[in-house]
Structure 1
């Protein structure tokens, strides 16, 4: 919505942004989705107004007006547009300024050239404030998390192409144990970044760079310690692993070969550009055909630099989504009765039904990686954490998501339990779990959550993350979950009764839509009057 304002050449204004009366936006600037520039504000050329940000003062000296640096999984943005070398240098300096001078930070990345560029810029920023670097170079993220505690570092940074957005870069910052940093730490870094409260080291205090060795060996040792090696060695298992052109020189096949497991590897070469969703689906179909043709025990497509996976059973049928979460919980609790699993708040209720079969316990957390990692580490007797959406955590190995160890665990448990993935699939509870994502402006999210809480009895509410409305009679629920990084809200409906799920998903979609329209009604009427 542009109202009596001036937009200069080469400026991009994204959808649902508002530039109000008398505002002037200089050339080659960008105004993100749902951003608002107030009346009379001047924006100098080549500035960036982030999605959801509100700008009330002239933007002259800074480069951007941002709502936050960190979103749900770290710092992310368009490669070489939002996440530039200049941005990365400043981010590295801001992070380093929150640490003591002279400490060490580990830096790792995926194998793509864009990630190398960004990681080198981060390293330059860290060194400029007196931080020493342990450069792990191209290292899968599970390996990086695992070796962090052995390096005596103050934290770590991992740079990769975003697993869900092939044109985005994702920068994650870890604590010394390999867990994503807390919200409090994120705010400290954001404070240093936005206030430009950056330390400057004297020439003799500039950080140094070293290159640790034995990273793969350290991971390999821990990997082997937490597996039943005789079971794997005697399994005669054959598995097919598809790397979807995202890695070269993969570590997992080398590890599995050591344990006498036959691993057939597909597409283990590197494309600098990530595959689109249709291309990944095409490879998944190909994977199913190969699994069936080779009579393999199962297949797996690995993504997210070694964190996430999709399974393919012995008949070439995919196991993904909530079914994958339920299958992993079932396998782990069958092997470890009376244990605990940690899942995000929106996971299917099949998890609780499986836990009851095995006298297990379920802990639900906020729908973000840090909450899952912390709960998996701090609660006793946890054998599994995570979900198909983010990956699976095996806290006895390291605190992060690890598709590689998950594959080895699958071989071990299927061998010991003498079952196939197809057989386990038939044992899973039949739960109807559906979701829908819709737009919800930043300014409306808070009032929507308050309205939901006020309109439902307290006894029927669960407020771990978002608002979960529970129907105790039918053991069903609806969850309205605001998105942490975009002007969106996610609606989840879960029940043993498909009709209940469909009806309530439809009901709350209408509820949210009407509420958003009502909240924006006055503004919409004004816009129509102007037109």
Structure 2
């Protein structure tokens, strides 16, 4: 980037609260990425230091990785290119090596998208409040002036592979060698789990575990030819559910495109909710922390997880801390509280032993360990973690979101409830029979409803009543 320009660049369409995401060739290009790489080094004062850059299997990721590296090197940072990585591999490398880094991924977004997830040294998250806005502003400046000034000494660009170190590290955290034999179907959705699953759970790099892995869509293909790599949508779990039943498998695992989230289905092909997985992992992490001498281990959960999570944590002698939705909030509270584990309703799972970062693979390993150390099926094991009935997240397109929430408040004014506004508005029946949360989307004209009750009839009654008011 050396030409004289007078164009004013505005990157606000692609810079989000926690990352960068846009349409390739439009809101994210190699020229933009090079400027972002330079700005990343300047804002985090990384001149003379080494940063890490990788990317997922999207066709544009290699070009963007090189462009980011070029921008960073121009501003004096050394770069180690990690090549193809999952997002949690970036967090692992940033944590283990105590370096800042970036990976190119658009997670579960369609094939035409790409983006950048950035991390400070030690896998500390970067958000709009902690530097991302400054990176945006400086990148816009470099693009508008048409030049990135060269540092006194240009950085060197090299290559590093962290897949084996990552796999060995995860296996040290959860010992699966003593599990009973399990048949495991894994749907990688043509995403990065197609690379990490054989390395961590298979025998591609390490000794074989007592698992028969049945692969679905392990071929890395950023065009997602089989289904979108977004397991949060039920239709994207159908192939996994069918394969579990067809093969008589014990469990099914589905990962999103960059493999930082993991979804679980039982031997009947039924989804095991992320709240149940949170409870399952929390129980194991509390027991492990207590065995190491921690009196009251802390577990973080966002306010949309089932209330069964907090009840289980308290029952097991832990302390439950409720937070807002969003990975930068969870990571910050994890660090503040010294929490051992955190879980979200969206299947993001965070571990103190993973630098407070989220990793779908480590959560999957905990579920496999919990299943493999006892004889019962996953459907029975999962049932004890899901005593309540949930609506799931329901979106309503609403122009005036505050007015819709006010209609609900007015209608429930005569009820014996408590309302809190930690994130959106949460209405909780004081007799414990139900709760629901209404939360506006920051980026779309949606009001999101999550409801939970002690029985299906109550949940459906509350859900339908709230939706009628919201959509009135």
Q: Do both proteins adopt the same fold according to a TM-score greater than 0.5, normalized to the shorter chain?
A: yes
1:8-44, Cα deviation, whole Å (9 max, x unpaired)? xxxxxxxxxxxxxxxxxxxxxxxxxxxxxxxxxxxxx
Counterpart residue number, 1:16: none
1:219-248, Cα deviation, whole Å (9 max, x unpaired)? 13321221235423xx22332222222248
Aligned partners of 2:334 and 2:342 also within 8 Å? yes
How many positions carry a matched residue from both structures? 444
Counterpart residue number, 1:123: 69
Secondary structure in 1 matching 2:387? coil
| 1:12-411 alignment, distance < 5 Å | 61-64=7-10, 67=12, 69-100=14-45, 101-153=47-99, 155-182=100-127, 183-194=129-140, 200-202=148-150, 204-213=152-161, 215-232=162-179, 235-247=180-192, 250-256=195-201, 257=203, 258-262=207-211, 263-274=213-224, 275-277=226-228, 284-315=237-268, 317-320=269-272, 323-330=273-280, 332-333=282-283, 336-337=286-287, 339-382=297-340, 384-411=341-368
5+ unaligned residues in a row in structure 1: which ranges?
1-59, 515-531
Secondary structure in 1 matching 2:358? coil
Distance 1:432 1:407 in 2: 22
CA positional deviation for 1:96: 2.4
Distance 1:339 1:390 in 2: 21
1:389-424, Cα deviation, whole Å (9 max, x unpaired)? 242223223432222222222222222243321111
5+ unaligned residues in a row in structure 2: which ranges?
1-5, 288-295
Secondary structure in 1 matching 2:83? strand
Distance change (3 Å), C-alpha of 1:495 and 1:226: same
Distance change (3 Å), C-alpha of 1:433 and 1:72: farther
Counterpart residue number, 1:491: 449
CA positional deviation for 1:368: 0.8
Secondary structure in 2 matching 1:70? coil
Distance change (3 Å), C-alpha of 1:472 and 1:195: farther
CA positional deviation for 1:509: 3.9
Secondary structure in 2 matching 1:464? coil
1:288-327, Cα deviation, whole Å (9 max, x unpaired)? 3443344332121222322122223223x1324xx23224
Aligned partners of 2:86 and 2:193 also within 8 Å? no
Distance change (3 Å), C-alpha of 1:95 and 1:513: farther
Distance change (3 Å), C-alpha of 1:373 and 1:177: same
Distance change (3 Å), C-alpha of 1:366 and 1:419: same
Aligned partners of 1:353 and 1:429 also within 8 Å? no
CA positional deviation for 1:138: 1.0
CA positional deviation for 1:475: 4.8
1:92-144, Cα deviation, whole Å (9 max, x unpaired)? 23322213232332111112221222222222222232232121111122122
CA positional deviation for 1:333: 1.2
1:159-204, Cα deviation, whole Å (9 max, x unpaired)? 1133143432231111212132142322322332445598944364
Aligned partners of 2:91 and 2:357 also within 8 Å? yes
Distance change (3 Å), C-alpha of 1:416 and 1:336: farther
Secondary structure in 2 matching 1:333? helix
CA positional deviation for 1:498: 3.8
Distance 1:255 1:504 in 2: 43
Distance change (3 Å), C-alpha of 1:325 and 1:87: same
1:26-66, Cα deviation, whole Å (9 max, x unpaired)? xxxxxxxxxxxxxxxxxxxxxxxxxxxxxxxxxx83244x6
Secondary structure in 2 matching 1:250? helix
Distance 1:161 1:305 in 2: 8
Aligned partners of 2:35 and 2:148 also within 8 Å? no
Distance 1:456 1:104 in 2: 57
Aligned partners of 1:436 and 1:490 also within 8 Å? yes
Aligned partners of 1:330 and 1:354 also within 8 Å? no
Distance change (3 Å), C-alpha of 1:136 and 1:169: same
Secondary structure in 1 matching 2:325? coil
The Cα RMSD (Å) is: 3.4
Secondary structure in 1 matching 2:21? strand
Distance 2:135 2:407 in 1: 33
TM-score by length of 1: 0.73
Distance 2:133 2:235 in 1: 41
Give the number of the structure whose alpha-carbon radius of gyration is greater: 1
Tell whether 2:343 aligns with 1:420: no
Secondary structure in 1 matching 2:93? helix
Counterpart residue number, 1:46: none
Aligned partners of 1:71 and 1:485 also within 8 Å? no
